Chains A and B, each alone.
Chain A
Amino acid sequence: MSRLPITAASLGLLSCHDCDLLSKPTDGQVAGVCPRCGAHMHLRKPNSLTRTWALLITAAILYIPANLLPVMQAGSMFGSQKDTIFSGVVYLWNSGSAPIALLIFFASITVPLAKLIALTYLLISVHRHSQKRPLQRTQIYRLAEFVGRWSMIDVYVVALLVTLVQFGGFATIEPGPGAIAFGGVVVLTMIAAMSFDPRLIWDPIKEKHD
């Protein structure tokens, strides 16, 4: 493969995000329609930074009720018990299911928080036109985009427990308001990662990097 430190943008070419066709926009236009597949083309994802910031801040706010409010409440003839994400992890740990406890802790608490921090870091570095470690920042972006979906585990656990534990007066499990907030965090951070354009990391890079 040829080693040209030349980008599509530097030649005024638009790359179609759907079919990869390169084309020159018509005079005066910044964006256009792909001549091959008809997709709307943009030099970079539209308003990438603003959109990502907005989604990220909303997700960060929702992260608080997602962790403080109960994600489910178990009711039985012995009374009721509310479980937050964290108390659910503690329960699993104490009942001897350490691997699953660690899995849930990682997927539900670490991953969303790490994603919030990683995307904030990427956004700030792009605002500062940072030239440092573009490859590592791209790898952080890829990781953030890849792991986000796994946070959904806890939502599915709640869904399954609610389905299975329905014994009238004997015992029931109901979802708590924390589940809505938590689902919101997962979806918003996923969309935030999708709306971030990793090419913005590379735009200030002038020299050839290896």
Chain B
Amino acid sequence: MSEPLAVSSLIACHECDLLHRRMVLPQGGVARCTRCGAELYANPRDSLNRALALTLAAAILFATVNFFPIVDLDAQGIVTKATLPGSALALHDTGMTSVALLVFTTTVLVPALLFAAMLYLLIPYKFGRTPPMLPQVLRAVHMLKHWGMVEVYLLGVLAALVKLGHLAIIKPGPSLWLLAVLVFVLAAAVSAFNAHDFWHEGESSASDLSA
């Protein structure tokens, strides 16, 4: 195993460390570990164009969601509204800053940063360029995916609606529907986004430099 060539054609499973030989996958194919079944790498169909289109759509949806109410509550004529950033702010106003930060981070800040980071990588890549700080931003995308919880928030909205349903009149706001669409678009964008595309791009540009 002294030749570096042999090493670059191998991949270790990140869940059980078993070595596998890298293979060219058909479009839409996924390579899984033969021992523990973890996903090793994938070749999503037309990953760049799909990821770019879906991420743009998700970013626009997300920006819109923040400005309109998710639910209106009408209790004998007194109407209150909840927006996505508003629910974190209300918690902050009651003095629960730590919980407010947790809600703000997982529903507003992390999704916003995730879209920014994905677009930062995808847009230059679409025009054949490698953006600066590629490794750091890819690392950030990987981490942000764990901490963005828009889909959990949507379920929380539904639970809150049921809880308040018999105390007051609840009207779903426009952002509730946008949020429901966003959850699916975001999931599709994340699964179309293929980190391996960027590393292979980095590899070929590095070998171009040395040649």
B102 touching A5, Cβ below 8 Å: no
Chain B residues near A179 (CB, 8 Å)? 96, 99
Bound CA span A157–B57, Å: 27
A149 touching B94, Cβ below 8 Å: no
Asked whether any CB of chain A lies closer than 8 Å to the CB of B210, the reply is: no
A175 touching B152, Cβ below 8 Å: no
Query: 22 A-B Cβ contacts within 8 A?
Result: A1-B31, A4-B18, A5-B18, A9-B17, A18-B139, A95-B166, A138-B16, A138-B37, A149-B146, A149-B152, A153-B155, A156-B160, A157-B156, A159-B90, A160-B70, A160-B156, A164-B81, A165-B164, A166-B80, A180-B96, A180-B98, A201-B16
Please tell me which one of the listed residues A36, A38, A163, A209 contacts residue B80 in the complex, with CB atoms under 8 A apart: A163
B7 touching A23, Cβ below 8 Å: yes
Q: Given A164-B82, A180-B99, check contact A36 B16 (CB 8 Å).
A: no
Please tell me which one of the listed residues B12, B16, B87, B102 contacts residue A162 in the complex, with CB atoms under 8 A apart: B87
Interface string of A21-58 (1 = CB under 8 A from B): 11110000000000011110000000000000000000
Q: What's the tally of chain B residues with a CB closer than 8 Å to chain A? A: 71
Q: Given A8-B17, A36-B202, A165-B80, check contact A160 B135 (CB 8 Å).
A: no
Residue of A nearest to B200 (CB): A19
Interface string of B1-26 (1 = CB under 8 A from A): 10000011011101111111101000
Residue of B nearest to A162 (CB): B90
Interface string of A177-210 (1 = CB under 8 A from B): 0011001000100100010001101110000110
The minimal Cβ–Cβ distance linking B77 to chain A, given in whole angstroms, is 10
Q: Given A152-B106, A156-B103, A160-B87, check contact A22 B7 (CB 8 Å).
A: yes
Residue of A nearest to B35 (CB): A209
Q: What are the 7 closest A-B residue pairs judged by CB atoms, nearest first?
A: A156-B156, A8-B12, A37-B135, A15-B12, A163-B90, A160-B160, A202-B16
A21 touching B8, Cβ below 8 Å: yes
Asked whether any CB of chain B lies closer than 8 Å to the CB of A70, the reply is: no
Chain B residues near A21 (CB, 8 Å)? 8, 199
Chain B residues near A5 (CB, 8 Å)? 18, 35
Give me the interface of A with B, judged by CB distance under 8 Å.
1-9, 11, 13, 15, 17-24, 36-39, 88, 91-92, 95, 97, 100, 103-104, 134-135, 138, 141-142, 149-150, 152-167, 170-171, 174-175, 179-180, 183, 187, 190, 194, 198-199, 201-203, 208-209
Please tell me which one of the listed residues A19, A142, A159, A167 contacts residue B91 in the complex, with CB atoms under 8 A apart: A159
Q: Given A1-B21, A138-B15, A175-B99, check contact A156 B75 (CB 8 Å).
A: no
The minimal Cβ–Cβ distance linking A184 to chain B, given in whole angstroms, is 8
Q: Given A164-B82, A165-B73, A175-B96, check contact A7 B36 (CB 8 Å).
A: no
Asked whether any CB of chain A lies closer than 8 Å to the CB of B208, the reply is: no
CB under 8 Å from chain A, chain B span 71-108: 71, 73, 75, 78, 80-82, 86-91, 94, 96, 98-100, 102-103, 106-107
